[in-house]
Every structure is written in C-alpha cells, then in structure tokens.
Amino acid sequence: MTRFIVEADGGSRGNPGVAAGGAVVINAETGEILAEVGVFVGIATNNVAEYSGLVGGLRKARELDASASIHVRMDSKLVVEQMSGRWKIKHPDMRELAREAHAVIAGADVTFEWIAREFNSRADSVANESMDRRDSFG
C-alpha cells in the first residue's frame, strides 16, 4: 500500500491579510517530494489559510493515489486537534473548510500529527510562494 506524508501550512500577512496555504506531498517510503501545492486565498485569517493548505495537500495526495494512506503533519495545533475530532470548530469559515477536508478524505486511512514550526519549513515555503505570487499552483 502506498503511504504519503502531507506537510501543510498556511500564513496570513496581517491576520486577516493576504493569505495562502501550502502543502508538500511526500512518498513516506522514499522521502521523495511528489508534489507542492500553493493555495492562494486572498484576504483571510491565518487559520483559514492553514485549513486551505491542508485541503490542497489532501486533494493532491488523493489525486496521486486515492487508495494511499496519508499521514498529515502540521504546526497548527488548532487544525490538528479539530480534524482529529478532539476540539470543536466554532468559526463558520473553518467549519466549512473542515467539512471540505473530511469530504476529501472520506473512506481513506488518514492520521494527523502536530509538529513544531521549525519542522514544517517546506510547507511554509510553499505557502509563502503562493502569497508572493498571489496565485495558486500545483
């Protein structure tokens, strides 16, 4: 069975401000980066950008192999805890993004892990590239 790691992040310059999410899809066996996804959001909060990066990364992973197991690594404790079902989602925009993420991973083997910010530099870099371009890619 194929296994992917999705590292996802988001950023907002101003919070709310110019925002984007970023994700990197990695082959868990080889460590090879298979895809980078930038999701330009426009003006939004950091949390909305984090969810956007997650959704973009999950979509790309499922596109590469719909049957793969996915291990998500993020430095957003909020998103990890909400997606794991341990924290409630109160904000309507984030609730919609969480629903979207759950729809993308329906029926898939997906786990979530919180990591420290310094271990999420690849996804952070992709999110910043998307903010700089003011465009989505990947």
Residue 93 has pLDDT above 90, yes or no: no
Q: Give residue-wise pLDDT tens across range 20-41.
A: 999 999 999 999 999 999 999 9
- Structure-token match 């590239």, residue found: 129
Domains (range + CATH), the chain: 3-115 (3.30.420.10)
Q: Let me know how many helices (H) and strands (E) the chain has, helices first.
A: 4, 5
Q: First CA to last CA across the chain, in angstroms?
A: 24
Confidence label for 80 from pLDDT (cuts 50, 70 and 90): very high
Tens-digit pLDDT profile for residues 38-76: 999 999 999 999 999 999 999 999 999 999 999 999 999
pLDDT for residue 91:
86
Contacts of 18 by beta carbon, 8 Å cutoff, 6+ apart: 12, 42, 43, 131, 134
Q: Dihedral through CA 87, CA 91, CA 97, CA 101, nearest 10? A: 10
